[in-house]
Structure 1
């Protein structure tokens, strides 16, 4: 009979689609940025280089975060974070977790995005170290959240719930503010410009 302390109770899997989508998207951004530099800097370096460098930086940041994605497993004694791309495994004793938080996260990149994925970023503090992982990249994240609720202290669960509710509310408020701004400011200005262009062309 296996030792109950190390027997795996729950083990998550990384979502192949999400990881591939995010990874390929970051590589595409880096490639686009490099091509942008080559196309705009043929006659010498100029200020246009700022834009492709920003694109490359963002793509590199997304790629580094993709490589740091982890799957999660639980036992009676440990929360286990497995980083497949970094070939690293971290075992966190449940009793060592002294603080926790949970925020709303999304793959939404701009106000015009209509199809985007949402999830939760979970933050844990144990033995003087901070650990973060997101449910966006994990298959069946609800099962993981259920396992965390079983193991964490009630005060930490309450704090995580409050953090998540506030961050989700803030996100949708900013989203609604953006849409109102588009309707009340941007669209009228665009309409006025079109009318002026039409009138001047007469």
Structure 2
């Protein structure tokens, strides 16, 4: 993944330099897209982590950046969990859903997304076992609220597309067909 992202960044920089030498300034979008995509892949690869659970600690290991965070179970003072998706645009019908877990411990905020760890369900089960019941209730309530907001927005968007955008597009298509005859 890292080599692929570096390759995309390199190709993007080469395209950018080649298009600027010839004086075609509008073509800057294509190489910048390569650079952005390469950077996005690299940054998301670097945040991949593995989770180790011991009796006293939750250990987050980030192997690509060489960092390890140890969170003592007893030191977790607050927690939160939000609904997240990989959906990036309205026309994207296939997307993954997950959870973003926030743990507050010793004045530090630790964020963990289920997309970046190998076995997220194991972590969720351990959190349910080890956290205070009020924190579990708060996490569940926050998750359900954000999930409900997402699906409501998704349904509103699809209704808007079917009631407004699709009829306008069909009218334009019919007018173009009629005017072409």
Taking structure 1 as the reference length, what is the TM-score of the superposition? 0.75
**What is the aligned residue count?**
181
Partner in structure 2 of residue 196 of structure 1: 175
SS in structure 1 opposite 2:80? strand
Partner in structure 2 of residue 82 of structure 1: 61
1:61 CA drift (Å): 3.9
Taking structure 2 as the reference length, what is the TM-score of the superposition? 0.83
SS in structure 2 opposite 1:171? helix
Contact preservation (8 Å) 2:99, 2:114? yes
Partner in structure 2 of residue 151 of structure 1: 130
1:39 CA drift (Å): 7.9
1:129 CA drift (Å): 1.3
Which residue, out of 123, 126, 142, partners 2:102? Answer: 123
Partner in structure 1 of residue 23 of structure 2: 44
33-42 or 71-80, which moves further after superposition? 33-42
Structure showing greater relative contact order (alpha-carbon pairs closer than 8 Å, 6 or more residues apart):
1
Distance 2:169 2:136 in 1: 48
1:54-110: CA deviations, max 9, x gaps?
Answer: 674465245313311211111121111011111211111112111111111112222
Q: Which runs of 4+ in 1 moved over 6 A?
A: 23-29
Asked whether 1:167 is paired with 2:146, we answer: yes
Partner in structure 2 of residue 17 of structure 1: none
Gapped regions of structure 2 (runs ≥ 5): none
Residue 160 to residue 62, structure 1, CA distance change in 2 (3 Å)? farther
